Structure 1
Amino acid sequence: MKTVQPHSKFFIIGNADEHKNIANSIGTDDFVIRFNNPNPSCNLMADWVFIANGTIQIRHLIIKNDFFKPDTNIFFRYKINDILKSKYEVIPFDKKLKYCWRFPCWKKKYKLNQYTLHTIPESIYFKCANLVKPNLPSTGLLAIYYILQEYPNNKIYLHNFTHQGWMGHNWSLEESLINKLSEKNKIEFI
């Protein structure tokens, strides 16, 4: 399994259309991070994939495994218990019950159990949620803050981010937060 080195860089690839090929910028010890439904206009293979696995999202997500390396790590937003307890968002009881059946079926359908599976730590989720409330944090924002928390000395590059998408996110606020991180040299756009 690939491990993070002190010199490893993180390349977080947004789902906007590819305008510049950055493959030559990525070294063997670097990590490519993709999200939910990776945009096929960028063909970089993922070392890590962050997936929004909420009660609504799993019905609509189509995981493109052709972007996963054999040793890809997958980071889910929630555990099943988090959904059942409405830990992060208020969820009607009937949706909770459907999720208990749908989520394992969905993981099986897309053969996700063959990969190493993780859940984003609740401290990181709550930090992001507090930054953007009352909206939900995007998967990209969660990935950025996960890396900042877990690997504060490694460089982060963002590619193909337009801060647009699902209306449940506050894209302008997230863009402002990311720009502040860029001004502090915590991340760089590539």
Structure 2
Amino acid sequence: MKLIKPHTKFIIIGNADEQHSINDFICEDDIIIRFNEPNTSCTLMADWVFIANGYTQIRHLRINHQFFKPDTEVFFRYSKEDIYQSCYEKIALHKRIKYRWRFPKWIKKCNLDLYKLNIVPKEIYLQTVDMIMHSLPSTGLLAINYVSDRFPNNQIFLHNFTYNGWSGHDWDSEKKLIQQWLDIGKLKNI
């Protein structure tokens, strides 16, 4: 697990196609953050991976470890209890019960138990929901908000973000919020 130092930069890489390499921009102490199934057009290895682990996602999401470093940390959107209590999505009771045993089996099947596992804190999730007024923020926005909340003195850089993808996210609100943060210098594009 990497230590976060005062000069550590967070490089958050979206899943759009790589337009230009940023390899020369990366330093050894920087934290590279990727999502779900990282786009292979960017070959940077992840220090942290944020994964959407909802009921439906774990049935379809494949985890490719080619972009995981040996000491990568994994951050899940939800805990088993979040799903069981239907904290963020309305899920039928029988599916919530299945999830309690299906999720640990999925972790083992995907070999995610080889890494340090974390859950995005509930307060970060709810704060992100409030910021965009939408119940299902993207995994990328959750990661950005998590880093900016937990490490406010470190620089955060975005790369390969296009603000489109799965139709369940409010991409327009997310893009507007990110642009506000870019305008005030909270984030920077590379």
| TM-score w.r.t. length of structure 1 | 0.97
State the match for 2:81 in structure 1. Answer: 81
In structure 1, give the amino acid aligned to 2:15. N
Q: Secondary structure at the match of 2:66?
A: helix
In structure 2, give the amino acid aligned to 1:6. P
The sequence identity of aligned pairs, in percent, is: 54
State the match for 2:4 in structure 1. Answer: 4
Q: Does 1:42 align with 2:8?
A: no
Query: What do residues 122-147 of structure 1 show as CA deviations (whole Å, max 9, x unaligned)?
Result: 11000011122334100000000001
Q: Secondary structure at the match of 2:74?
A: strand
State the match for 1:94 in structure 2. Answer: 94
State the match for 1:156 in structure 2. Answer: 156
State the match for 1:180 in structure 2. Answer: 180
Q: Does 1:171 align with 2:162?
A: no
Query: What do residues 47-105 of structure 1 show as CA deviations (whole Å, max 9, x unaligned)?
Result: 00000101111112111111000000000011101111112222111221221232112
Runs (4+) off by over 4 Å: none
In structure 2, give the amino acid aligned to 1:162. T
Distance 2:100 2:40 in 1: 30
Contact (CA 8 Å) 1:135, 1:170: kept in 2 or not? no
Distance 1:20 1:103 in 2: 36
Q: Does 1:30 align with 2:30?
A: yes
Q: Does 1:129 align with 2:129?
A: yes
Q: Which stretch shows the higher mean deviation, 44-53 or 58-67? A: 58-67
Distance 2:95 2:186 in 1: 38
Contact (CA 8 Å) 1:17, 1:39: kept in 2 or not? yes
Measured after TM superposition, the shift of residue 174 of structure 1 is 0.1
In structure 2, give the amino acid aligned to 1:124. I
| Stretches of structure 1 lacking an aligned partner (at least 5 in a row) | none
State the match for 1:13 in structure 2. Answer: 13
Q: Secondary structure at the match of 2:78?
A: coil
Distance 2:133 2:88 in 1: 11
| Stretches of structure 2 lacking an aligned partner (at least 5 in a row) | none
- Number of residue pairs aligned between Structure 1 and Structure 2: 190
